[in-house]
Chain A
């Protein structure tokens, strides 16, 4: 008995070693700029580290130590303390989430764009809760109808109250980041015991560990939480234009972050990965191209090699809404992620270069992920599944419509078909006034969105949270 397991592999073992060697060269000779003195001191206390002004040079031994001490697998829980999934670098499976920090919301019926509001936060998070193929929720938007010195804290409260799924937390303001963690801890108790909160940080590509990020990392690590450290590079602008150059440089940034984290606290759980966008030289926007997806997989393979859990890109951003543009990129991303070694794909749902959150895009993505997952499951190849006897029995010119295997499997196989669109033949399509696929998607989205429900403890959490915020945020 054997199962057919489709996989995509981008790098050979030899190439992985090659990328690693280039990376070590960069870390030791070019170094990274570490803005904060506190962070530089942490680096410089380690043996093997040298510095020159704000430049820190990291040597191979430090990287080796960090790779040994960082956990290879991280358990992520839901808010109720149940194991949600394990991010296991030895057996990577892709987990998807909606996101992230969009400034606008795209109306599901009309595609009209309006500033992301508190109500939009509630809808988006509940949508993340409702969709079967969404495993976590990343801060979907930045609330604009609340004063911006507190909007992120209220946003975090809405996230916690409207889903029990794990949360990836993006907070732009360093003070509010601490307020958010404090709020979550007061509402939930010890966040580190069964972590369902995963903060997300970036270095400033190229090769800068900025003080805000190192400060947020210190806070998170001391609180005992796992976190994502992800490089956002734009090939041609903030990163080399070649795929290879981008891969190596972003890898160096990730390993520098890993070393820093392990120097703060040995054994700290860190999730690494990158968002390798490509800078479009006419329109000046970042785009997700085939190169992005290749590098996403290559990075995931590097992390699997290092035994470090991975978080990559989600293919969101290229569309103008739930359109052909978005669909192409999402398909390419979701399928390749599932076939590669991608751990997290946490930011599904953004359009216009991560500025506009579209619930309809998310609902379509949910269907793509479902199908991509089915694809990646492959199929069984054995005597029973081939069923030589059955083929022989039905024979040349016969029909399988009523065969034993068909009768036992047709319902299961039907799941492979779209759950959004009916299969229409030409005549039926014409008879139904030639419906457009987008209209049926909108209709489906409308239904999903009208059925959204809050978790049972929603009201209680909002009430408690608001009471806390009234006192703590003046």
Chain B
């Protein structure tokens, strides 16, 4: 696909893919100054670029550091768009709260999931590792995210995910947030057993699933 604009001029997309945050930011500012609507710019230039990055990474045509650079450039462009998006109360793709559950310190996979989500235009609030059910509930109440992502790398900490979902229900929050879980020992069947909306096997799949869950008619 071409990332240039219909008039042939250079869009921000190329710089997102190349991970050039300065250029991405600059072109985004210029577009806003010339009167392009923030939401249109996001949908036409930034998100398609990150979709290309996601696809290339999935196909093994890009290395992770290149994807992370692209995600950083995307974040830079988003920081220019954000005030304008908030003004017209348009959102990025959605808000995600994420954490590694209690008793578990593994966070490498989670960090990659975060970068990919941010790169795809989601706003992500990272609660870190060893996050108690209590903290998850407080943060969800405070931030009201569209999606809750939980990571567990130990069989012994998987039950903590179930506990968070139980507490969500107890606090009448379950209907308000989609839940996605992941991590090496986690499976699709465990996800349905604990009433999680979805399971994602890797960071790329997490982005696809987030998009899918949020585009569903409520």
CB distance from A231 to the nearest CB of B (A): 14
Q: Is the CB of A103 within 8 A of B64?
A: no
Say whether A98 faces chain B, with CB atoms less than 8 Å apart: no
Q: Which A residues lie within 8 Å of B159 (CB)?
A: 148-149
- Please provide the chain A residues from 203 to 254 with a CB less than 8 Å away from any CB of chain B in the complex: 204, 210, 212, 234, 237-238
Partner among B105, B155, B202, B203 whose Cβ is within 8 Å of the Cβ of A142: B155
Q: A237 touching B108 by the CB < 8 A rule?
A: yes
Please determine whether A238 and B105 come into contact, CB atoms closer than 8 angstroms.
no
B103 at the binding interface (Cβ < 8 Å): yes
- Residue interface mask A135-159, B partner, CB < 8 A = 1: 0000000101000110110000000
Interface SS of chain A: loop
- B64 A355 Cβ-Cβ under 8 A: no
- When A103-B184, A282-B60, A284-B64 are in contact, do A172 and B108 touch as well, CB less than 8 Å? no
What's the Cα separation between A144 and B184 when bound, in Å?
14
B215 within 8 A of A: no
User: How far apart sit A144 and B155, CA to CA, in the bound complex (Å)?
Assistant: 8
**Contact residues in A for B156 (Cβ distance below 8 Å):** 142, 148-149, 151-152, 172-173, 176
Chain A 248-282 interface residues, beta-carbon cutoff 8 Å to B: 279, 281-282
The answer, among A151, A212, A284, for a CB contact under 8 Å with B202, is A284
Contact size range, B: 20 to 34
Closest to B184 in A: A355
Whether, in the assembled complex, B217 has its beta carbon less than 8 Å from a beta carbon of chain A, the answer is no
A204 to B129, alpha carbons, bound, how many Å?
A: 11
B130 smallest CB distance to A (angstroms): 8
Assembled-state Cα–Cα distance A173/B155 (Å): 9
Most buried by B among A151, A238, A281: A281
Determine the chain A residues whose CB is within 8 A of the CB of B154 once the complex forms.
Answer: 172-173
Q: A148 with B158: in contact, given A282-B60, A355-B184 (CB under 8 Å)?
A: yes
Q: Are B108 and A238 in contact (CB under 8 A)?
A: yes
> From A152, which residue of chain B is reached at the shortest CB distance?
B156
A174 at the interface (CB under 8 A from B): yes
- Asked whether A282 lies within 8 Å of B63 as measured between CB atoms, the reply is yes
Contact A174 B103 (CB under 8 A): yes
Residues on B with C-beta less than 8 A from A284 are: 64, 109, 112, 202-203
B185 adjacent to chain A (CB < 8 Å): yes
Look across to chain B and name the residue whose beta carbon is closest to the beta carbon of A147: B159
Q: CB-CB < 8 A to A103: which residues of B?
A: 155, 184-185
A172 touches B155 (CB 8 A): yes
Contact with B along A146-188 (1 / 0, CB 8 A): 0011011000000000000000000011101000000000000
Contacts of B105 in A (CB 8 A): 204, 210, 212
**B65 contacts the other chain (Cβ, under 8 Å)?**
yes
A 365-394 to B, binary, CB cutoff 8 A, 1 in contact else 0: 000000000000000000000000000000
Which are the 9 A-B pairs with shortest beta-carbon distances?
A: A173-B156, A281-B63, A281-B64, A172-B156, A172-B154, A142-B155, A282-B60, A204-B105, A103-B185
Q: Show 20 A/B contacts (Cβ-Cβ < 8 Å), sorted by A.
A: A103-B155, A148-B159, A149-B156, A149-B159, A172-B154, A172-B155, A172-B156, A173-B156, A174-B103, A204-B105, A212-B103, A237-B108, A279-B64, A282-B57, A282-B60, A282-B62, A284-B64, A284-B112, A284-B202, A355-B184
Given A172-B157, A238-B108, A282-B60, 19 more A-B residue pairs with CB atoms under 8 Å apart are A103-B184, A142-B156, A149-B156, A151-B155, A172-B154, A172-B156, A173-B154, A173-B157, A176-B156, A204-B105, A234-B108, A237-B108, A281-B64, A282-B57, A282-B64, A283-B60, A284-B112, A284-B202, A284-B203
